[in-house]
Amino acid sequence: MKGGYLFTEIVNRTKAYQAEHPDTRILRLGVGDVTRPLPAPIVEAMHRAVDELSHSDTFHGYGLENGYPWLRQAIIDNDYAPRGINLSLDEVFISDGAGSDLGNLSELFDTRNMVAIAEPSYPAYEDTSLMAGRSIVFLPCTAEHDFVPELPSVPVDIIYLCYPNNPLGVVLTREQLTRWVRYAQTNHSIIIFDAAYEAFIQSPDIPHSIYEIEGAKEVAIEVRSFSKTAGFTGVRCGYTVVPKQTGLQSMWLRRQCTKYNGTSYISQRGALATYTPEGKAAIRANIASYHATAQVLLQGLRALGYTVYGGVHAPYIWCRVPAGYTSWSFFNHLLNTCQIVCTPGVGFGASGEGYVRFSAFSRREDCEEALIRMKGL
């Protein structure tokens, strides 16, 4: 395994620059964390939950390892049933976020199972596969193929897909996602579908869930999170859907009951509030503001002559670096000459070389200021 974690390296370089230039205002456009505060309806729900815990007649101790039924029912009723997807309560597992489940799910599989990862990718898929001692086949996503991964040329057992994609900011069409479900059916593979950015999808043609594809319940586990949807990166709550047809639901329940003692009652009450009319409206407003910031970056970078991708159904913009630069040399150049922090694409995988990622989880004024600073480049 590589020693340093990508984001630690970025933080260290940024800190070193700030230490040498204490008066400079550095613009952080690389952040993969939400920046808008929690909406009021969610905060109020969590306050009420804390109050309940402080009285003996409304106190809650351990909850179910897979989460309170009222939250699982709300997820089914709001996120799946309206799209024609029928799930039972015991197929939905509440978690402390997608991050842990994406890694822990690998415990369901034999270590000899081969993993396929569409790359560049969120680092967790590769790192947790290596920690589990598995071999990996990387599926490069390049501009020549519109960043759509090719089907594996060798048989694979576990496939990580993430749509809308981090870091590319791109999505798959229904037809493209169907090819993957058919591949998994034919090859008896399991797809681990990371839908952390589902709430950013803006077009009705783009699938929000892999279960919109017929047959996907036999071959796919879907991982979602309230982190990017509702600003829960610090609160911690997510959920994973393991359909019975995969044959893995009871094993995952057994695993969770042994190794996980449940998500905080307060977090789950906060998550439930995202499904109230006020909660939904507040979340929509937050996401609309990230979309607007993404548009500022997209159009601004295009006007400066950069080739950019993504940024419509996701908060991320994938930007080709100018000729003569690598991901890291352009990162350094932007930091040293414009005091802007981006994320080097190569940190997400070999095919990310020659790109950087900009994030709309940035302050809009900072993006506008960054575009002015970049004019002189």
Give the footprint of ligand PLP on this chain (CB under 6 A). 32, 97-99, 122, 162, 166, 194, 196, 225, 227-228, 233, 238
Residues 248 and 190 sit within 8 Å (Cβ to Cβ) = yes
Q: Which two tokens stand for residue 197?
A: 């950015």
Measured from the CB of residue 231, what is the shortest distance to ligand PLP in angstroms?
11
The distance of closest approach from Cβ of residue 316 to ligand PLP in the complex, given in angstroms and rounded to an integer, is: 9
CB atoms within 10 A of CB 335: 21
CB closer to ligand PLP out of 240 and 339: 240
Give the shortest CB-240-to-ligand PLP separation in angstroms. 10
CB of 345 to ligand PLP, least distance (A): 15
Phi, psi of 222 (to 5 degrees): -115, 130
Alpha carbon 218 to chain centroid, angstroms: 23
CB distance 312 to 197 below 8 Å = no
Around Cβ 227, how many Cβ atoms within 10 Å?
Answer: 22
The Cα–Cα gap between 252 and 249 comes to 5
Q: In whole angstroms, how close is the CB of 224 to ligand PLP at the nearest point?
A: 8
Distance, CA of 232 to CA of 96 (rounded, Å): 10
Q: Which amino acid is at 229?
A: T
263/327 with CB nearer ligand PLP: 263
Q: How far is the CB of 223 from ligand PLP (least distance, A)?
A: 7
Q: Please tell me the chain's helix, strand, coil percentages from 3-state DSSP, rounded to the nearest 5.
A: 45, 15, 40
Nearer to ligand PLP (CB atom), residue 31 or residue 49: 31
Contact between 114 and 154 (Cβ < 8 Å): yes
Select 97 or 149, whichever has its Cβ closest to ligand PLP.
Answer: 97
CB closer to ligand PLP out of 97 and 300? 97
Q: Which lies closer to ligand PLP via its Cβ, residue 95 or residue 339?
A: 95
C-beta separation of 225 from 129 below 8 A: no
Whose Cβ is closer to ligand PLP: residue 263's or residue 339's? 263
Closest residue by Cα to residue 363 from 26, 59, 61, 84 = 26
Look at the alpha carbons of 237, 76, 162, 144 in this order and tell me if their dihedral is positive or negative. Answer: negative
Asked if the peptide bond before residue 140 counts as cis, ω within 30 degrees of 0, the response is: no
Q: Which one, 34 or 49, has the nearer CB to ligand PLP? A: 34
For residue 328, CA distances in Å to 226, 287, 347, 353, 357 come to: 31, 30, 9, 9, 11
Q: How far is the CB of 279 from ligand PLP (least distance, A)?
A: 18
Strand locations in the chain, DSSP E?
A: 27-28, 92-95, 115-119, 136-140, 158-162, 190-194, 220-225, 238-241, 308-310, 316-320, 340-341, 343-344, 355-359
Neighbours of 349 (CB within 10 A): 22
For ligand PLP, give the closer residue by CB, 99 or 243: 99
- Tokens matching residue 168: 């590319």
Shortest CB 95 distance to ligand PLP, Å: 8
Between 65 and 194, CB nearer to ligand PLP: 194
Residue 361 contacts residue 32 (beta carbons within 8 Å): yes
Distance between CA 104 and CA 256 in Å, rounded?
9
Cβ 21 to ligand PLP, closest distance in Å? 30
Nearest approach in angstroms of CB 352 to ligand PLP is 14
